[in-house]
Amino acid sequence: MGRHLHTTLTACLAIALTGWPAISPAIADPAPAASATFIRPNMPCPADLDTLTTLLLRDLPSYANRTSQRAASLLESDRQQSYVLLAEKPDFAPLTLGPGQYNPTTGAEPPQVFFVTLERQYTATEARLLEHYHWVFLTETPSGWRFVMMFSRLANYPDGQPITPPRDTSYGVLAEATRQWLNDCRTENIAPLDESDPF
């Protein structure tokens, strides 16, 4: 009887102080469950150019948009902003470099990554779609692939207007995004190839 009364009084005191019944220490402080860790495995940067291109084009829109936003923030610019919606391989012939544009020590032209981007540009009155055609020239070094230069051509989409002549865009947003991605690739800081990634 005395023990039962003591237990009842303890429960009533707990309710009065906290508003909740007293809870067994085993229930109030359960042993922490083992937490699952989801760590992305490191992936060596592919030496194969086709695999490298597949991974680059998969990630390039997000890299380019972050690069563009950082640049606009640093410059406090109110210029028209373009957002890369996708990057993919088109069916076009590669661009031949003219003399004097790039002179590799081996005498051979550097490998090319040729792709097209679809971008949305916002103006004061409308949003329009633009296609950019890009030729990225790379060089393979002992530490991995590195950026050499980029040329681009621009066209409205889907109006079918003539595209502009190739121009050097080696210091543009897409070029900087490509440099950053290649750096992350060399340091094994990109997501591995997934079965859903297009080839």
**Does the reported pTM lie above 0.75?**
no
Q: Is residue 135 situated within a structural domain? A: yes
Split into its structural domains, the chain has a count of: 1
Quote the pLDDT of residue 13.
46
Average pLDDT, the chain: 76
CA distance 124 to 50: 40
Confidence band of 17 (pLDDT split at 50, 70, 90) = very low
Residue 154's domain comprises: 49-95+109-186
Q: Is residue 20 situated within a structural domain? A: no
CB 189 within 8 A of CB 40: no
Quote the pLDDT of residue 45.
92
CB 57 within 8 A of CB 46: no
Q: Is residue 43 situated within a structural domain? A: no
Residue 69 has pLDDT above 80, yes or no: yes
Confidence band of 193 (pLDDT split at 50, 70, 90) = confident
Q: Taking residues 157-175, what's their average pLDDT?
A: 81
Q: Is residue 16 situated within a structural domain? A: no
Quote the pLDDT of residue 53.
93
Sign of the dihedral through C-alpha 171, 94, 156, 182 = negative
Q: Is residue 72 situated within a structural domain? A: yes
Confidence band of 26 (pLDDT split at 50, 70, 90) = very low
Q: How far is CA 46 from CA 52, 83, 189, in A?
A: 6, 27, 12
Structure token pair of residue 24: 């067994």
Q: Taking residues 173-195, what's their average pLDDT?
A: 91
Q: Is residue 169 situated within a structural domain? A: yes
Strands 127-141 and 167-168, bridge-based pairing: unpaired
Q: Is residue 3 situated within a structural domain? A: no
Q: Taking residues 176-185, what's their average pLDDT?
A: 96
Q: Is residue 63 situated within a structural domain? A: yes
Q: How far is CA 114 from CA 19, 71, 121, 132, in A?
A: 68, 25, 22, 11
